Amino acid sequence: MDTVNDLWEKLGSLSEDESSHVLTRLFTVYEELLQHDSQSVEARVFFERLGHVVSLCQDCNLNRR
């Protein structure tokens, strides 16, 4: 398994298209997990954190305008 630092390096080397693909794939992995177990704490935490990060990014983008 990669270390956190290894993953940061790999993420940093991805193109924009590849980064979008990684996010999409992560989303579908956790979506499938929820479909199989609607009480999955792991999946629920992922989506809660994802929603929070998206909101933060949207707020930052609004403040730049």
pLDDT at 59: 86
Question: Is the pTM here over 0.75, yes or no?
Answer: yes
pLDDT at 41: 98
pLDDT at 38: 96
Q: Which of 27, 9, 25, 6 is nearest to 17 (CA)?
A: 25
Contacts of 47 (CB under 8 A, 6+ apart): 30, 34
Mean pLDDT in consecutive groups of 10 residues from the start of the chain, 65 residues: 97 96 97 98 98 92 62
Convert the pLDDT of each residue in 7-22 to its tens digit: 999 999 999 999 999 9
pLDDT at 61: 66
